[in-house]
Amino acid sequence: MAPREEVAYVTCTYRSTCIEQPDFLATVDLNPRSSTYGQVIHRLPVPNLKDELHCAGWGPACGCFDSGAAARRNRLVLPSLISSRIYVMIEPVDVFWKCNKGYLAVTHALPNGDILIANMGDAAGYGRGGFVVLDGDTFELKGNWEGDCEAPPSGYDFCFQPRHNVLLSSAGPVPRVALRRFCPDDFKKGIFGRRLNVWNLSCRRLTQCFDLGEDSLPLSVRSLHSPDAAEGYVGCALSGAIFRFYRACEATFIADLIISPDDRFLFVCNWLHGDIRQYELRRGCKPRLVGQCKRVCGGPAALQLSLDGKRLYVTNSFYSAWDRQLYPSVLREGSVMLQIDVDTDKGGLCVNENFLVDFGKEPLGPCLAHDIRLLGGDAKSVPLP
């Protein structure tokens, strides 16, 4: 019953494009009755060059039940994948010296109102996963979330379920090597992560690890939206496998996956092959393929789903250095944002031919768009407990 989304926020970077301009956050008009429907209506540039804005996350007041904040989403936190800078302004030297962390990826607000950001490595770019914490009121950098426990070899994405006191994090690649270029020969060199990590949310300790195989690279991890659910899915970028995880009592490149707010469908994008798929989820059963779209130039890299589950938004830039290697035309022509209409009754996907945001026509030159956040909430927001 949520109102239809009218605005999307999209992270855009100029890194690797040979255009010396700062990254920016684009505001896209999603209202089909608007004269600027499907267009960028505002650009918020950051003050530095080559940050590589990658993922965005809602700050506090995102359903933070312990903080007393209203359940609204009005603050975006932008971590930088390459510079390790955090906007709202936290310089990388603070992250390096206080936390010995760098290469910041995914952001979520914690139940107490603080902000948790997953990192891929240490300050030097060697594999050392984990998290940094920002104060939800002041945005002050508090330090490492995981305390003194052993940090995983690498990190990227995470999700959590407060009612089950669990946080799950994916592996990601070792940034010092893998972020230079994508090389399949690195499979057996420990460059690509292979673990799904299980944490005790309240104690901040690593309790269990699942080895998903040397060629797996688990990136996107999503739990079901129901606060009582003790299950979810992790997409492995290199092996193409999607694993279902649950509390024990019961060659593709998966770049992103998302679960509909009603927990009926799983959406998966395959970056290397330009493939988007929709699976029907049945509790305790194998997901059933019910919809598929193919051949998005550049490969679908990031997804976002409206709260009513009827509109799936997709961009086609994954990471600038790998884009340059595998899809050089995207750097020359810029990336795009598409809308895919979802059949929520029988299952099925259809590209909306009336919606196309062309980031190749930006005033300062073609740029690369990645993460998408919807004003008023979206299907990647962490569920209430």
Residues whose CB is less than 8 angstroms from the CB of residue 155 and which lie 6 or more positions away in sequence, other chains included: 105, 118, 119, 120, 129, 130, 131, 169, 170, 171, 172, 193, 197
Residue 284: exposure state from Cβ atoms within 10 A (0-12, 13-18, ≥19)? exposed
Q: What is the pLDDT of residues 290-346, one digit of tens each?
A: 888 766 667 899 999 999 999 999 999 999 999 999 899 999 999 999 999 999 998
Q: Confidence band (pLDDT; 50, 70, 90) for 189? A: confident
Q: Confidence band (pLDDT; 50, 70, 90) for 250? A: very low
- Is residue 42 scored above 50 in pLDDT? yes
Average pLDDT over residues 151-175: 89
The more confidently predicted of residues 318 and 192 is 318
Beta-bridge partner residues of 28: 8, 40
Pairing of the two strands 76-79 and 57-58: antiparallel
- pLDDT number for residue 63: 42
8 A C-beta contact, residue 14 and residue 317: no
Residue 312: exposure state from Cβ atoms within 10 A (0-12, 13-18, ≥19)? buried
Q: What is the DSSP letter of 153?
A: S
What type of residue sits at position 331? Answer: L
Rounded Cα–Cα distance for residues 104 and 122 (Å): 10
Q: Is the pTM of the predicted complex or chain greater than 0.85?
A: no
The more confidently predicted of residues 203 and 285 is 203
Sequence spans of domains, the chain: 7-62+71-374
Architecture of domain 7-62+71-374: 7 Propeller (2.130)
Q: What is the pLDDT of residues 114-133, one digit of tens each?
A: 999 999 888 888 878 889 99
Q: What is the pLDDT of residues 59-112, one digit of tens each?
A: 764 444 444 443 456 678 899 999 999 887 577 777 888 888 889 889 998 888
8 A C-beta contact, residue 8 and residue 25: no
- pLDDT number for residue 126: 83
Q: In the predicted model, what is the mean pLDDT of the chain?
A: 86
Q: What are the backbone angles phi and psi of residue 294, rounded to the nearest 5°?
A: -130, 170
Q: Compute the half-sphere exposure of residue 115: CA atoms within 13 Å on the CB side of its CA.
A: 28
